[in-house]
A = this chain, B = another copy of it.
């Protein structure tokens, strides 16, 4: 079967001045991808009739399907419908169903309908109407010279409704392509390039129909294997075999397999499964570990709380840190990190505890403890220890990296 080429054209000056982030293109691509259709290009242009016509002409030379959003409102800066009429050299015809729908909405809002509003029921003579059940401006579907054009509003929830109710089912019915299967493996606390080196052999031996992408975030890297073929089951089986090889290389650095894996989610699942509770004592991370943990719904089952001890006296008084150790080794030290973890574990009566003490920057570094130095402590009923890291110069990134590293240390301890 022919490889269907889809492009998305988002229309709107607000996107080109950076006032609005283009979430429509990503959302549409994701939904197409889920039914096995691949997006080849996103293009964003302004609300200008000539530019729209020229761009349509250009894309129609490359693509089989063009999905557009934006510029369908009733105000002067909305010119997409006019551009399509001129592009196809057709006139407008009033759609009585749409008109009745618009009138009903105005009646409900107690507003008088104007001719401009009524004109939103006028559609190009060569178009099929895509009904807008959650708004006013209808969408349009055109087929000309072997190219499908789908024209939708820029308002995300109106566009999404049209995609779900009409566009996706129609495309799925017509273009049953090969299956696309994504298999995601998440690895924590290792750099993208280190992972890539370790995977050199795996990557070389990948069959042609399976591709690997590295998607790094702070503290975690997603390996995405994309398999294309006829049988979804078979693709999955092949990916699972690769997964086994990857897991044998990285061991407990593998956080999880699946679509939306986070360290805080996986740690939470482990705590819940083992019926354990957690607390944190945070200095340089300033509450960010607690925030990550509590961003997971239902975390109150295992998370009891945190002492954010930004101030040294707070550490000494409430976490029971030895003043002598603070005086001899300093607050940013192994001893203090361990005592903080033990201290909060006792104070909040939890099974395990994580602590951080360090220098997030941009000031405060010393020769011994340069900016980015963080001690991360861990305590449970059997052991306590701390590890030293030296991150970079950026304050916010140091906070984030230290927090994720803390979560990962706890996760690994719970695994072993």
Contact = CB atoms under 8 A, between A and B. Distances in A.
B295 A395 contact: yes
Contacts of A53: none
B21 A33 contact: no
9 contacts: A16-B29, A16-B41, A18-B32, A155-B216, A303-B310, A305-B311, A306-B307, A306-B308, A307-B307
Nearest to A372: B108
A27 B20 CA distance: 9
A196 B74 contact: yes
Interface stretch (A89-97, A110-118, A231-239): A110-118
Given A193-B116, A294-B310, A347 B318 contact: yes
A19 interface: yes
A30 to B, nearest CB: 3
B363 A297 contact: yes
Contacts of A117: 193
A365 interface: no
A413 interface: no
Interface of A: 13-23, 25-33, 38-46, 73-77, 108-109, 111, 114, 116-117, 134, 136, 155, 157, 182, 191-194, 196-197, 203, 211-216, 224, 280, 282, 285-291, 293-295, 297-300, 303-311, 313-314, 318, 347-348, 360-363, 390, 392-397, 399
B214 A77 contact: yes
A286 B280 CA distance: 11
Given A18-B39, A20-B26, A286-B295, 10 more contacts: A16-B42, A17-B38, A18-B25, A18-B28, A18-B33, A43-B43, A76-B212, A286-B294, A287-B288, A300-B310
B46 A44 contact: no
A290 B300 contact: no
A368 to B, nearest CB: 14
A165 to B, nearest CB: 13
Contact of A289 (B196, B211, B287, B362): B287
B19 A297 contact: no
Contacts of A45: 40-41
B43 A76 contact: no
A349 B370 CA distance: 30
B43 A16 contact: no
A13 B182 CA distance: 13
A348 B157 CA distance: 37
A221 B137 CA distance: 17
A35 to B, nearest CB: 12
Nearest to A363: B297
A155 B214 CA distance: 12
A286 to B, nearest CB: 3
A300 B305 contact: no
Contacts of A108: 390
Contacts of A308: 280, 287, 290, 294, 305-308
Nearest to A395: B297
A17 B39 contact: yes
Given A157-B397, A295-B395, A21 B26 contact: yes
A55 to B, nearest CB: 8
A44 B17 contact: no
A299 B311 CA distance: 10
Contacts of A297: 361-363, 395
Nearest to A277: B311
